[in-house]
Amino acid sequence: MSENSNVVSVGRVVGLWRYPVKSMAAEALSKVDVSWHGLQGDRRWAFIRNESVRSGFPWFTLRQRNDMARYVPSFADSTKADTSRTIVKTPSGDVLDIDDPALGLSLCSEGAQVIKQNRGVFDTFPLSLVTTQSIARLSELVGDELDVLRFRPNILVEADDDVPFMEESWVGRILRIGALRMRVDERDGRCVVITIDPATGERSPEILRTVIDQRQQCFGVYGSTVEPACVALNDKVELDVTAFSPPS
């Protein structure tokens, strides 16, 4: 229990990741600044097909190319990720600048163009979180040990209570993660991307079927920043039991 009786400990941070390019490989972090637009450098770049018609979801992602997570982006200066030069190592070993047309051609035969969005290219909210207990329980349900990166979270929490899906009870509440204050906005609705193994690109449709059948197609939670701060591995995660905003 915190010195403030309205704040209770619920876990600690055991994983932090950002995804410099939407649908490409994750970058594991020991600490990171979190602003109003999520983790510094998270999903600041995304690709669209040259011939695609703009729509509500124009992005070229793992849906179109299931080995896209084998493209590994990085920043020349990770401390200045939002302004630093960004490069990508392709599965064949080539290292290309993010805006090199050869990278777009490597992804898509008709070519793809990259777009930078300083606010981040997020499907819904800028932060995503899941607990180790939820990963373990879903692994049991599908009969296979699942890689957390299949779910592309920003923050992995080891909850104090060994109860799966605990994070869903935090929706509408404020979490304190180190000095960061994060509102948990809603459950994370899932799509075909979670069926794709980030290491091999192989698809396992039963994972999405299980999430649909057992969890109403939701797994983990989305959130947004209430008070920016730096977050680090092993930071305590606390729940403010007085701060409540009913989900819309």
Query: pLDDT tens for residues 57-82?
Result: 688 999 999 999 999 999 988 878 87
Per-residue pLDDT tens over the stretch 211-244? 999 999 999 999 999 999 999 999 999 999 886 6
Query: How far is Cα of residue 180 from the mean position of the Cα atoms in its chain?
Result: 17
Predicted local confidence at residue 150, as pLDDT:
97
Indicate whether 239 belongs to any domain. Answer: yes
Nearest to 156 by CA among 231, 216, 228: 231
Predicted local confidence at residue 77, as pLDDT:
84
Query: How far is Cα of residue 171 from the mean position of the Cα atoms in its chain?
Result: 17
Which residues, 6 or more positions from 2, have their beta carbon under 8 angstroms from its beta carbon? 8, 9, 238
In angstroms, rounded to a whole number, what is the distance separating the alpha carbons of residues 83 and 144? 40
Full-model pTM: 0.93
Indicate whether 2 belongs to any domain. Answer: no
Residue linked to tokens 């990085």: 74
Indicate whether 1 belongs to any domain. Answer: no
In angstroms, rounded to a whole number, what is the distance separating the alpha carbons of residues 1 and 4? 8
Average model confidence (pLDDT) across the chain: 92
- Full domain range(s) for residue 174: 7-244
Query: Has residue 53 got a pLDDT over 60?
Result: no
CA distances from 13 to 20, 21, 99 (A): 21, 23, 34
Per-residue pLDDT tens over the stretch 92-107? 999 999 999 999 999 9
Per-residue pLDDT tens over the stretch 153-168? 999 999 999 999 999 9
Indicate whether 22 belongs to any domain. Answer: yes
Report the percentage of the chain scoring pLDDT > 90: 81
Indicate whether 135 belongs to any domain. Answer: yes
Indicate whether 81 belongs to any domain. Answer: yes
Predicted local confidence at residue 179, as pLDDT:
96
Indicate whether 84 belongs to any domain. Answer: yes
Predicted local confidence at residue 54, as pLDDT:
55
Predicted local confidence at residue 161, as pLDDT:
96
Indicate whether 95 belongs to any domain. Answer: yes
Which residues, 6 or more positions from 149, have their beta carbon under 8 angstroms from its beta carbon? 17, 26, 69, 198
**Helix (H), strand (E) at residue 210:** helix 205-215
What's the CATH code of the domain at 147? 2.40.33.20
Domain total of the chain: 1
